């Protein structure tokens, strides 16, 4: 039966055979790999590289906004920086980081030998460097790169777009293919490869939140693909989807985009919810409070994310019924989110807490994400949004949910699982320093944006009124601090990979889950025979 | 749960990276081509790059699927692996459903809201001041700005070729199911015949669709550029046609495999996946026939 296979696979994959092998040597290990740990590692490094690139663009933005007036860059280039910063951070930094964590941790958490479809997993990863090389190369093309904001509203992105928009569109297609395949892999793995006894309601919350995230990805990435395809047709083939002169509607673009875009923002936060739900119980040394309600809250958030998209469009001219519906539906999201925050707080209540770096990031996550949630509620009020729309208040809001939300969730996960990945403990002192510098830096950077936004400073403009000067200078100083601190994170991770105190199989005494039953560092192949879960 | 122990994790594979390069080269080629076309630059390298990318993709498809078929036939795939493929294909089809949903959503939005507002209806009807003479109707036989988007003189009637195509595609779903039943009873000859008949019906569908397009372009002035009616019409039916083509290619591969003696009454997921896909394009067509042609 194995005549064909033996020639190229040397019998690997045979039932019950004890043939363990380590990774292949050299560069081709990474190019050809089908191992979920290798692929997870590549996703995480890619994400970090994109985080630094997108961060550099943020530094350009903050440098220009350090003082009123135009100092460093031209408005045209400033627009490209805001656009690319957003696109790279959303699609290049946050999403791949979570896919990387999923690749590493989901098989370990559910006792699976690998992801369900390992070759497709490799394909999902390698499409990302391809897509981003193409997208970043647009900056060097004639007419410059995308300059229409990361939301690429038509007609800015169609009639008035630089020529490079065509490559932007295809880059989005490649990212979309990558995301859909990655999500299908996650769903198939979770639904089909759980160890015997691991029922759905026994799964760690990180697995649950990723299952729901993957569903959201499969549901909305095709809509984004449809959206950019219509742009492509409008630009090159004379269709009039987003042009009223032919009977279409530019507002239609916003509807299609935000039908994708709103679930997308939950795609960027739900896995962080899951990670924090693993980390807080570990350092509070208490089981998670309200596991079942966490699962249902996540599912409710996912459902609601499909019926709130037009709250991004309150000022664009939608009927009153629409304003009211989307306002109330949006406010409903506060209920399941509140359940989650309550559960995290209750988990910590009377726990034996210690504050190692992952816990510091997680506690900051709970507090600061809640601030972002509250400013979200303010924005949800349609009549009030008429004042806030397109101001720095919006920028403050979504940076509060994305930086101390998504990014802190990723940092917390990285510190929590680094011992498992590398076999060494990271440097706790440096980790704490990284946390406090990030914490202070990001609050300095983003908190003043609330004030200038409420006072009317518009977003995406390289110059501003003199009266915003002080707050903007504070923001910029905070941003530089936050940015520089991330190089420290790079140093900490490299130091941890190269050496350090050897990590035990379970370095955190309150941690629970199958991933702590295997040695640190995790062997190249794990759970080839599934564990029994009681 | 002995099945767990047999889960097949393939060793290193070159196919994903070839697929990545193929896709990247293909889209770079397309992008170059489209941009050069728009800027009217002569001697574009776009088509050539696109062609090279296409070669990569073709090589990858043969190689990757060839490997999977070999592995499947050599018995490496447990029933658990089979289930992974089933989940994978089901969610892929779901993603395709959502892709079409986006375009159907556009159609409903234009017909229910954007169009009437542009014609001056309701409290958002101020949009009408842009083109005060514009009256909205569906099908849209006049556009707000006929110089930019010349309106069509007529549209395709539902009760000619589209009705015939509906009959063809719906019957092809039946013939495919007969083929599947034959496969399960291990009746190879009826299997081959029903599958071949399905392909003939699918091909006939595509021929009539092409005829309809030619009629629309040459006689009715109904084009991609003839306003939102033409845009939604061609995008919905065009993407559907592309999916029928893809489905037909899948079924052709299945026919070749049947002729080579592949598939057993128990193990034939490749066939089933292609059949699921075919039924999916059939269901999309019923949506199209209803909302694009009839209503």
Question: What CA–CA distance (Å, rounded) separates B68 from B53?
Answer: 22
The confidence score (pLDDT) of residue A24 equals 84
Asked whether residue A445 falls in the same domain as residue A498, the answer is yes
Residue B71's nearest CA partner among A235, A222, A13, A182 is A13
Asked whether residue A263 falls in the same domain as residue A290, the answer is no
Would you place residue A20 in the very low, low, confident or very high pLDDT band (cuts 50, 70, 90)? Answer: low
Question: What CA–CA distance (Å, rounded) separates A177 from A130?
Answer: 12
Does pLDDT of A263 surpass 70? yes
Q: Which residue of B has its CA nearest to A179?
A: B95
Would you place residue A23 in the very low, low, confident or very high pLDDT band (cuts 50, 70, 90)? Answer: confident
Residue A416: inside a domain: yes
Contacts of B200 (CB under 8 A, 6+ apart): none
Q: Which of B12, B83, B140 is closest, CB to CB, to A33?
A: B12
Residue A532's nearest CA partner among B81, B1, B84 is B1
Would you place residue A5 in the very low, low, confident or very high pLDDT band (cuts 50, 70, 90)? Answer: very low
Tens of pLDDT along chain B (295 residues)?
444 456 888 889 999 999 999 999 999 999 999 999 999 998 999 999 999 999 999 999 999 999 999 999 998 888 999 999 999 999 999 999 999 999 999 999 999 999 999 999 988 888 889 999 899 999 999 999 999 999 999 999 999 999 999 999 999 999 999 999 999 999 999 999 999 999 999 999 999 999 999 999 999 999 999 999 999 999 999 999 999 999 999 999 999 999 999 999 999 999 999 999 999 999 999 999 999 999 9
- Put simply, the chain B residues between 60 and 119 with a CB less than 8 A from any chain A CB are 64, 70-71, 73-76, 78, 80, 83-84, 87-88, 91-92, 94-96, 98-99, 101-103, 105-106, 109-110, 113-115, 118
Query: Which token pair is A506?
Result: 């379970």
Residue B119's nearest CA partner among B141, B130, B134 is B134
pLDDT tens-digit profile of A347-372?
A: 999 999 999 999 999 999 999 999 99
Residue A174: inside a domain: yes
Asked whether residue A228 falls in the same domain as residue A282, the answer is no
Test the A interface: residue of B1, B6, B11 with most A CBs within 10 Å: B11
Question: What CA–CA distance (Å, rounded) separates A95 from A171?
Answer: 15
Q: Which of B14, B130, B223 is closest, CB to CB, to A32?
A: B14
Asked whether residue A215 falls in the same domain as residue A280, the answer is no
Test the A interface: residue of B9, B134, B142, B221 with most A CBs within 10 Å: B9
Asked whether residue A201 falls in the same domain as residue A212, the answer is yes
Asked whether residue A260 falls in the same domain as residue A279, the answer is no
Task: Give residue limits of the domains in chain B.
Answer: 9-76, 79-294
Residue given tokens 């070669």 in the structure block? B55
In chain A, % of residues over pLDDT 70: 96
pLDDT tens-digit profile of B14-57?
A: 999 999 999 999 999 999 999 999 999 989 999 999 999 999 99
Residue A17: inside a domain: no
Residue A366: inside a domain: yes
In chain B, % of residues over pLDDT 90: 90
Domain boundary pick from A221, A249, A268: A268
Select the CATH number that applies to the domain covering B79-294 from these four: 3.30.300.30, 1.20.120.80, 3.20.20.60, 1.10.10.10.
1.20.120.80
Residue A350: inside a domain: yes
Query: Which token pair is A294?
Result: 């966490």
Instruction: Give the structural domain span for A122.
Output: 36-268
Residue A476: inside a domain: yes
Asked whether residue A320 falls in the same domain as residue A458, the answer is yes
- Put simply, the chain A residues between 390 and 429 with a CB less than 8 A from any chain B CB are none
Asked whether residue A305 falls in the same domain as residue A215, the answer is no
Contacts of A302 (CB under 8 A, 6+ apart): A212, A213, A215, A216, A263, A266, A270
Question: What CA–CA distance (Å, rounded) separates B1 from B4?
Answer: 6
pTM, full prediction: 0.95
The confidence score (pLDDT) of residue B217 equals 96
Asked whether residue A218 falls in the same domain as residue A363, the answer is no
Asked whether residue A123 falls in the same domain as residue A237, the answer is yes
pLDDT tens-digit profile of A134-182?
A: 999 999 999 999 999 999 999 999 999 999 999 999 999 999 999 999 9
Q: Long-range contacts made by residues B76-83, C-beta under 8 angstroms, separation at least 24?
A: B76/A2, B76/A5, B76/A13, B76/B8, B77/B8, B78/A15, B78/B3, B78/B6, B78/B7, B78/B8, B79/B3, B80/A192, B80/A193, B80/B3, B80/B4, B80/B6, B80/B7, B81/B6, B81/B7, B81/B8, B82/B267, B82/B269, B83/A192
Asked whether residue A361 falls in the same domain as residue A448, the answer is yes
Residue A413's nearest CA partner among A306, A289, A515, A339 is A515
Residue A28: inside a domain: no
- How many structural domains is chain A composed of? 2
Exposure on the CB side of residue A128, measured as CA atoms within 13 A: 31
Question: Residue A68 sits in a domain of what CATH number?
Answer: 1.20.210.10
Q: Which of B14, B144, B235 is closest, CB to CB, to A244?
A: B144
pLDDT tens-digit profile of A228-258?
A: 999 999 999 999 999 999 999 999 999 999 9
Asked whether residue A239 falls in the same domain as residue A293, the answer is no
Residue A18: inside a domain: no
From chain A, the residues in CB contact with B31 under 8 A are 166-167, 169-170
């Amino acid at each position: 039966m194995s005549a064909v296979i033996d020639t190229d696979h040397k019998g690997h994959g045979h039932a019950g055979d004890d043939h363990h092998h380590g990774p292949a040597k050299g560069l081709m290990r990474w190019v050809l790999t089908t191992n979920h740990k290798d692929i997870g590692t590549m996703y995480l490094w890619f994400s970090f590289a994109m985080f630094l690139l997108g961060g550099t663009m943020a530094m350009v933005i903050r440098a220009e906004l350090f003082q009123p007036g135009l100092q460093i860059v031209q408005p045209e280039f400033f627009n490209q920086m805001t656009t690319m910063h957003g696109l790279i951070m959303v699609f290049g930094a946050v999403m791949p980081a979570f896919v990387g964590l999923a690749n590493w941790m989901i098989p370990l958490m559910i006792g699976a030998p690998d992801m369900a479809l390992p070759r497709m997993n490799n394909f999902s990863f390698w499409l990302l460097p391809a897509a981003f090389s193409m997208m970043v190369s647009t900056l060097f093309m004639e007419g410059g790169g995308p300059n229409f904001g990361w939301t690429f509203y038509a007609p800015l992105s169609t009639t008035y777009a630089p020529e490079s928009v065509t490559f932007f569109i295809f880059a989005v297609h490649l990212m979309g293919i990558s995301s859909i395949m990655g999500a299908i892999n996650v769903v198939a793995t979770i639904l089909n490869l759980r160890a015997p006894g691991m029922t759905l309601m026994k799964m760690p919350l990180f697995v649950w939140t990723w299952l729901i995230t993957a569903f959201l990805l499969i549901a909305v990435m095709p809509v984004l693909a449809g959206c950019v395809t219509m742009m492509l047709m409008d630009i090159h083939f004379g269709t009039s989807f987003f042009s009223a002169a032919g009977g279409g509607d530019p507002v239609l673009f916003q509807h299609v985009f935000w039908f994708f875009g709103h679930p997308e923002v939950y795609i960027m936060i739900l896995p962080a919810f899951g990670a924090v739900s693993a980390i807080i119980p570990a350092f509070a040394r208490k089981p998670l409070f309200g596991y079942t309600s966490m699962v249902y809250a996540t599912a409710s958030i996912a459902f609601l994310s499909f019926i709130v998209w037009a709250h991004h469009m309150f000022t664009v001219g939608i009927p009153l019924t629409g304003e009211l519906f989307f306002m109330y539906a949006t406010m409903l999201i506060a209920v399941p989110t509140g359940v989650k925050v309550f559960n995290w707080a209750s988990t910590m209540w009377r726990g034996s807490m210690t504050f190692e770096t992952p816990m510091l990031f997680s506690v900051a996550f709970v507090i600061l994400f809640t601030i972002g949630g509250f400013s979200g509620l303010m924005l949800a009020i349609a009549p009030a949004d008429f004042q806030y729309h397109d101001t720095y208040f919006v920028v403050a809001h979504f940076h509060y949910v994305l930086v101390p939300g998504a990014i802190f969730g990723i940092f917390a996960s990285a510190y929590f699982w680094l011992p498992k990945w590398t076999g060494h403990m990271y440097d706790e002192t440096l980790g704490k320093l990284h946390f406090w510098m990030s914490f202070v830096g990001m609050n300095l950077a983003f908190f003043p944006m609330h004030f200038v936004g409420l006072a009317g400073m518009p977003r995406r403009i390289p110059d501003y009124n003199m009266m915003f000067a002080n707050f903007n200078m504070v923001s910029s100083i905070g941003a530089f601090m936050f940015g520089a601190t991330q190089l420290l994170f790079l140093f900490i991770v490299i130091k941890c990979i190269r050496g350090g105190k050897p990590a035990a199989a379970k370095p955190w005494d309150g941690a629970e889950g199958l991933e702590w039953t295997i040695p640190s560092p995790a062997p190249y192949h794990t759970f080839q025979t599934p564990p029994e879960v009681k | 749960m002995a099945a767990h122990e047999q889960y097949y994790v393939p060793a290193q594979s070159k196919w994903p990276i070839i697929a990545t390069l193929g896709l990247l080269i293909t889209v770079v080629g397309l992008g170059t081509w489209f941009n050069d076309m728009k800027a009217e630059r002569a001697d574009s390298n776009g088509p050539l790059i696109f062609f090279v990318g296409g070669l990569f993709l073709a090589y990858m498809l043969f190689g990757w699927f060839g490997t999977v078929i070999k592995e499947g036939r050599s018995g490496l795939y447990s029933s658990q692996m089979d289930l992974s493929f089933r989940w994978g294909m089901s969610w892929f089809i779901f993603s395709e459903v959502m892709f079409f949903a986006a375009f159907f959503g556009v159609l409903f939005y234009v017909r229910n809201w954007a169009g009437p507002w542009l014609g001056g209806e309701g409290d958002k009807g101020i949009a009408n001041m842009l083109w005060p003479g514009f009256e909205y109707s569906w099908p849209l036989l006049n556009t707000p700005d006929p110089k930019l988007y010349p309106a069509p003189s007529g549209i395709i009637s539902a009760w000619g070729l589209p009705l015939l195509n509906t009959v063809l595609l719906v019957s092809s779903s039946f013939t495919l199911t007969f083929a599947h039943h034959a496969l399960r009873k291990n009746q190879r000859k009826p299997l081959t015949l029903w599958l071949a008949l399905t392909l003939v019906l699918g091909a006939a569908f595509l021929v009539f669709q092409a005829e309809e397009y030619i009629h629309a372009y040459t006689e009715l002035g109904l084009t991609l550029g003839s306003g939102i009616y033409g845009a939604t019409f061609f995008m919905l039916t065009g993407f559907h046609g592309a999916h029928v083509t893809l489905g037909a290619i899948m079924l052709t591969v299945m026919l070749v495999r049947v002729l080579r003696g592949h598939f057993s009454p128990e193990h034939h997921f490749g066939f089933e996946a292609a059949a699921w896909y075919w039924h999916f394009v059939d269901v999309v067509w019923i949506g199209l026939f209803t909302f694009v042609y009839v209503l």
